[in-house]
Chains A and B, each alone.
Chain A
């Protein structure tokens, strides 16, 4: 992790999503990655599916996998807290290779997420640890190889992984 997080260009993340062969992005709107959402809604290469809740994003993604698609779930840290039971029941018990991209809205970029004062940011990593879900923190564009690593891990283990977006995309 670098000392200071800086925003990753939306186009960089978009290209990583495409290069990892995601067919769909299932999402609840997130201020943190709004520039990425704009790109996703404008492309025809990847289907953007908006859900009302993060619970639905988890189950819908599972259904897409059953149907042979490869979805990415894009939510915010608050959404992670909101969907814990579906994440447990579908991702962990159901053994689905779910890749979550989670925006850490409001994170102080000069501090590690767990050292932030705000509970929304501070508890994201400890929660993932408690659930035994691997996470990958993307703080700068140089961290992008972790995106590929996360996707490979989900597929290899048939289990959820989380990609944390440390600073708002630009």
Chain B
């Protein structure tokens, strides 16, 4: 699957997921955080910036601590490429309540759309399957994703869903430089999620 053939936008895929949002803990990272935040963020959302590739294993920790709570990871291709070992760690732990959704747009969207490595040659779904995920799926059109997702939510994890999407293309907006150091978002965010899970 080459990226030039995909017609699915990340925003449309987010809407498919958002319509199914109930009690899941959702760990999102990088480009996908903005559309997800607009559509479906709740007090059970964790947003990861500054440690690329770490979203999935934060979610793994939550999944292992709370096996009764479904956990969704909204990952990126560039992010996952930075922590490929996490596929082994997740597969080894076998969290049944874990859905790993990878938005594969073939570029580093926030930094100027530079191409990701081997983007037309490899498959994250194949990697995850080989690592030992219970099952993996790849979608490149929104209709097929929409019709399949309810069933996937009932599947025993860990599963990986690779979404072949077009880039969002909004780039990265650098934060301003306030006079005093603000409390980082994650530090404000995680105690609320922890409280919601008690």
- Residues of A participating in the B interface, judged by any CB pair closer than 8 Å: 24, 47, 49-53, 55-56, 58-69, 71, 85-86, 88-90, 93-96
Is B127 interfacial (CB-CB < 8 Å)? no
Q: A69–B65 contact, CB under 8 A?
A: yes
> How many Å lie between the Cα of A56 and that of B93 in the bound state?
13
Distance in angstroms from A57 CB to nearest chain B CB is 8
Q: Across chains A and B, which 7 residue pairs bring their CB atoms closest together, nearest first?
A: A63-B61, A67-B65, A52-B85, A89-B51, A95-B187, A59-B54, A59-B57
User: Contacts A50-B92, A56-B85: A67 and B61 contacting too (C-beta < 8 A)?
Assistant: yes
Q: Which residue of A lies closest to B86 (CB)?
A: A56
Query: Which residue on B lies nearest to A96, using beta carbons?
Result: B190
Contacting pair A55 B51 (CB below 8 A) = yes
Chain B residues at the A interface, C-beta cutoff of 8 Å: 46, 50-51, 53-55, 57-66, 69, 83, 85-86, 88-89, 92-93, 183-184, 186-187, 190, 193-194, 197-198
The docked-state distance in angstroms from the alpha carbon of A136 to that of B49 is: 30
Contacts of A53 in B (CB 8 A): 83, 85-86, 89
The reply to whether A67 and B194 form a contact with Cβ atoms under 8 Å apart is yes
Instruction: List, in ascending order, chain A residues with CB within 8 A of B85's CB.
Output: 51-53, 56
Contacts of A94 in B (CB 8 A): 184, 186-187, 190
A-B contact pairs, 5 of them (CB 8 A): A64-B62, A68-B198, A88-B51, A93-B184, A93-B187
Closest to B92 in A: A50
Q: Which residues of A contact B89 (CB under 8 A)?
A: 50-53, 56, 60
Question: Closest residue of chain B to A86, judged by CB?
Answer: B51
A-B contacts besides A56-B85, A56-B89, A67-B61, 6 pairs, CB < 8 Å? A55-B51, A56-B83, A65-B61, A66-B61, A67-B66, A95-B184
Is there contact, CB below 8 Å, between A68 and B51?
A: no
Q: Is A89 a contact partner of B50 (Cβ separation < 8 A)?
A: yes
Q: B83 contacts which of A49, A55, A89, A96 (Cβ < 8 Å)? A: A55
Residue of B nearest to A68 (CB): B65
Residue contact B54 to A86, C-beta cutoff 8 Å: yes
Chain B positions within 8 Å of A51 at CB level:
57, 85, 89
B86 and A52 form a contact (CB under 8 A): yes
Q: List the B side residues contacting A50 at CB < 8 Å.
A: 89, 92
Residue of A nearest to B66 (CB): A67
Are B51 and A66 neighbours in the complex by a CB distance under 8 Å?
A: no
**Complex formed: what's the CA distance from A32 to B53 in Å?**
28
| Cross-chain contact A60 with B57 (CB below 8 angstroms) | yes
Kindly state the separation between the CA atoms of A68 and B191 in the bound complex, as whole angstroms: 10
Asked if B194 contacts A55 (CB within 8 A), the reply is no
Whether the Cβ atoms of B64 and A64 lie closer than 8 Å is yes
Supposing A52-B86, A90-B51, A94-B186 touch, asked if A59 and B194 sit within 8 A by C-beta, the answer is no
Residue on A nearest B55 in the bound complex, by CB: A59
Chain B: minimal CB distance from A150 (Å): 21
Chain A nearest CB from B73 CB (Å) reads 11
Complex CA–CA separation, A31 to B198 (angstroms): 37
Q: Which residues of A contact B55 (CB under 8 A)?
A: 59
